[in-house]
Chain A
Amino acid sequence: MSEEMALFTKTEETDGLLPEDMYESETEKYLIFLSNDIFYGVNADYVVDIITEVSITWLPMLPPHIRGVVNLRGQIVPIIDFRRLLGQPPKNNDCIVVLDFEETKIGILVDTVDQMVDVEKGTILSVPYQNTQDMQKIISGMYSLPEGGGTLMVLDCALLLHGR
């Protein structure tokens, strides 16, 4: 956790101090997390926090993929169970990536957070048409990690929030 946080903070600093570098290399930072042994990436611009060991308050009358809400420093943030969202069996996991997309905060419950990667712009490929509708709803692209690190599914925040 502390390592992840350090990594995360460092990125933010780089963003703030050296924006020119970003443009030169034309890369975007993506945070990689794991859910059900699949790598997902989310644009680090939207990531505001990574929290663990927080108690989620269940709310009634909601679809199963919404686990409830958490108290994030006085703010009420809804939590989406990423496994449930994709129709997979839930697990006793407690790692939450908090996203802030267009003024809306939302937490996604994932298995673990992996690392931060630089992704060159334009190298994210589109998703081939599949029958797995659940995936289509929230994944907007795919990217091959360097050195055979596997394939990254790129999470689309807009689809996640409004694509229901």
Chain B
Amino acid sequence: MGNDMMEAYLYEMNTLLEQLDELVLSAEKAECFSQDDVNEIFRIMHTIKGSSAMMEYNSLMTIAHRVEDLFFIIRDKTMAVISEELRPELFELIFQSIDFFRSEIEKVEKNEPLTEYIDNILENINRFANKIQPQEGAENQAGDQKAAAGQAASDAAGESGDSTGQAGTDVEFQSKEFPYGIHIFLDEGSGMENLRAFMLVNTVKDYCEEGQFDYYPPNVNTDPSAAAFIVEKGFVLRFLSEEEREKAIPAVTGNGSVREYQLFDYAEPAPAKESGADSTAQASDSQPQSAAAPKESAAAPDAQAGSKQPAQGQHIKESLISVNLSKLDQLMAVVGEIVITESMVTASPDLKGLKLDNFTQAARQLRSLTDNLQDISMSLRMVPVSATFQKMKRIVRDMGKKLNRPATLELVGADTEVDKTIVDSISDPLMHIVRNSMDHGIEETPEERIAAGKNPEGKIILAARHTGSEVIIEIIDDGRGADDDVILAKAIRQGLAQPGMNYSHQEILNFLLMPGFSTNTEVTEYSGRGVGMDVVKSNVENVGGTVFITSEKGKGMTTTLKIPLTMAIMDGMEVSVGSSIFTIPINNIRQIFKCSASEIIHDAVHGEMIKVMDNFYSIVRAKDFFQMEEGFDDFNKGILLWVESGDRSFCLFVDELVGEQQVVVKPLPNYVNEFGIKNFGVSGCTILGDGNISIILDIVNLYTAAQAC
């Protein structure tokens, strides 16, 4: 099987499932599916069925088919068919199916064998289908429990009630000898419809005796022109008795290329419309007329919905293409080179002293074009965080149900865009934090919340916003908040804190982010699986971000993730030490200032500090830290950079400022990374306008290493 096909399939499935998840979640809140929702779910299931069949994933196809059937019923009869009590079950059922699809798709991605055993879910769906059937089914066809049966009646009703326009075809399909028919439509564009119909006939023969039924158009196996007829008007199986028809239904539903089918009974050729209406009345027997009326109105647009909806969906999709991320990486790299080369050319030392009006003009033009190019190529990699945020909704819902803690998740700024790689890498941390909030944050019972003067329903806010070069994601819950004493006691028990020491509130909160810390003594299904917030922290730091926690006991907790918009390009400040040039991310720099040696405060162990804005900060000398030979030792000569990242704040002493520049971040070769220089704050490098290389410093790692020295 082609890789491209597989990728397209996975992409399609993931998109559809996300769409579905979102749709069902919002429907659950409204406790009802609108007719649009039902149509949409029907369409999605239909697509999943089709493409899974194409990929030969039978379990996926079967489930999709069953759910599609279920929604066929709902589509036909509107949500009214499902009583209030049954609705939660319906939502649960759909979530269950979504989860099944998800897990199967994951298996496909990992190249693992798919689940063969799907009877569980199938049974659930069937049972549910039966539940919504009998109310009408019992009225129509006594004692009939088959899923399709009720459908039969209503379809027949819909068909004949609506038959005025199609009377001609109906007559054509009707047959006195075989009064009980199934009108079948095959999947659009599946091709060779006549042969597909013939295969269907063959399958039906496994269920029904030959001679008990016939079909129309005849000669499907030999007459290719029948294909066109079937596409246009469908294909009909006709049976001697109702029982035989019942037997054949599994064959029809089990066939992958059947789009939809309707049952109809033979009606005397109708001389006038009245008899059509009569047959409706007959078919629906005791059914009150008022119930039939909305059904008809619903059935009419649905007849076309199946074909119209996908067409619309395709139209929207056509303006989007999916591109392999590695291609975008390459593009980004080339654009980076162009930006650098452009400045190498226009600032070439060879041009010094020359008066080149035309050149300068053209260079300016080139400059604006390269800027443009850079912006566009960066924007290509940007995706909104909404998809990741939506996933959290599901977690809050599931956990809320399971733990019996009603909570809502509010999304703010879900359309904020960040680099694709960053979106991917924050998905897990976000999930973990949200789980923590649900598990540890929100109070155990609504009563507890009421007692605390809060809304009985817990609230978690997931907010994203831009600040120039960073995106800030906040996870705010209004739960219990962090209890300093509990955390400290735990930290001491885990050996993270010294007993008897005085820790500030912030320091205590920081214990939460340390490896080996988990406040819940019990391992639950959702959190406390041995991985804690430290994993969140390291994941976020891997993409150059920081994690910060604030909390007030009894009021809740806020976890803030600060993440650079993109890792590829950043604003940097170039500083020099000796002959080396270092680049420090601008957003880490709080202040740059000169100081005199007299302002420096010394401690007993050769530590140096300085007071800035009413706070003391330790000083790290870049020259000494990196064991460099050149560079200033005298504070009067050099310059101090007050840098900050997360909760680390300190001053870095360097020789001179070189200037601010937008730089393309390049990773260091693996050969040198193996020596662990990342731990010393050397996170990458960048090529300067003159072709030289500057070392990019990571403030957090630098400080950690400096403290360890």
Interface residues in chain A, defined as those with a beta carbon under 8 Å from any beta carbon in chain B: 55, 57-63, 66, 69-71, 74, 76-78, 104-106, 161
A71 and B691 contact, CB distance less than 8 A: yes
Complex interface: chain A residues within 8 A of B628 (CB): 60
B340 and A77 contact, CB distance less than 8 A: no
Give the residue name and chain of the A residue nearest to B669 (CB).
Answer: A78
CB within 8 Å for A62 and B675 given contacts A69-B685, A71-B693, A76-B685: yes
- A119 to chain B: closest CB distance in Å? 27
Complex interface: chain A residues within 8 A of B682 (CB): 59-61
Residue B654 lies at the interface, judged by CB distance under 8 Å to chain A: no
Complex interface: chain B residues within 8 A of A58 (CB): 579-580
A61 and B693 contact, CB distance less than 8 A: no
Residue B627 lies at the interface, judged by CB distance under 8 Å to chain A: yes
CB within 8 Å for A59 and B671 given contacts A69-B693, A76-B685: no
A74 and B677 contact, CB distance less than 8 A: no
B672 and A66 contact, CB distance less than 8 A: yes
Residue B266 lies at the interface, judged by CB distance under 8 Å to chain A: no
Listed A/B pairs (13) with beta-carbon separation below 8 Å? A57-B695, A60-B695, A61-B675, A61-B680, A61-B682, A69-B668, A71-B693, A74-B337, A74-B340, A76-B666, A76-B668, A77-B669, A104-B670
- A104 to chain B: closest CB distance in Å? 6
8 closest cross-chain pairs (CB), A and B: A60-B626, A57-B693, A61-B680, A78-B671, A61-B677, A74-B337, A78-B669, A78-B672
Q: Which of A60, A71, A74, A105 meets B692, CB within 8 Å?
A: A71
Residue B687 lies at the interface, judged by CB distance under 8 Å to chain A: yes
Q: Which of B493-524 contact A (CB under 8 A)?
A: none
Chain B: residues with Cβ within 8 Å of the partner, total of 26
The complex places the Cα of A65 from the Cα of B244 at a distance, in Å, of 87
In the complex, besides A58-B580, A60-B677, 17 extra interface pairs with C-beta distance below 8 angstroms are A57-B695, A59-B695, A60-B626, A60-B628, A61-B682, A62-B672, A62-B677, A69-B685, A71-B693, A74-B337, A74-B687, A76-B666, A77-B669, A78-B672, A104-B669, A106-B671, A161-B671
Complex interface: chain B residues within 8 A of A78 (CB): 669, 671-672
Interface residues in chain B, defined as those with a beta carbon under 8 Å from any beta carbon in chain A: 337, 340, 579-580, 626-628, 666-672, 675-677, 680, 682, 685, 687, 691-695
A-B pairs with CB below 8 Å: how many? 65
- B159 to chain A: closest CB distance in Å? 66
The complex places the Cα of A60 from the Cα of B666 at a distance, in Å, of 17
The complex places the Cα of A74 from the Cα of B628 at a distance, in Å, of 26
Complex interface: chain B residues within 8 A of A61 (CB): 626-627, 675-677, 680, 682
Complex interface: chain A residues within 8 A of B691 (CB): 71
The complex places the Cα of A69 from the Cα of B668 at a distance, in Å, of 9
A57 and B692 contact, CB distance less than 8 A: yes
The complex places the Cα of A70 from the Cα of B671 at a distance, in Å, of 13
CB within 8 Å for A105 and B669 given contacts A55-B692, A57-B693, A62-B675: yes
The complex places the Cα of A149 from the Cα of B405 at a distance, in Å, of 85
The complex places the Cα of A118 from the Cα of B666 at a distance, in Å, of 38
B677 and A59 contact, CB distance less than 8 A: yes
Complex interface: chain B residues within 8 A of A74 (CB): 337, 340, 687
Residue of A55, A60, A77 most packed against chain B (CB within 10 A):
A60
Complex interface: chain A residues within 8 A of B671 (CB): 78, 104, 106, 161
- B630 to chain A: closest CB distance in Å? 10
The complex places the Cα of A74 from the Cα of B340 at a distance, in Å, of 9
Residue of A62, A74, A78 most packed against chain B (CB within 10 A):
A74
Complex interface: chain A residues within 8 A of B687 (CB): 71, 74, 76
The complex places the Cα of A63 from the Cα of B675 at a distance, in Å, of 8
The complex places the Cα of A78 from the Cα of B694 at a distance, in Å, of 14
Give the residue name and chain of the A residue nearest to B578 (CB).
Answer: A58
Give the residue name and chain of the A residue nearest to B676 (CB).
Answer: A61
Complex interface: chain B residues within 8 A of A106 (CB): 669, 671
The complex places the Cα of A58 from the Cα of B630 at a distance, in Å, of 12
Give the residue name and chain of the A residue nearest to B671 (CB).
Answer: A78
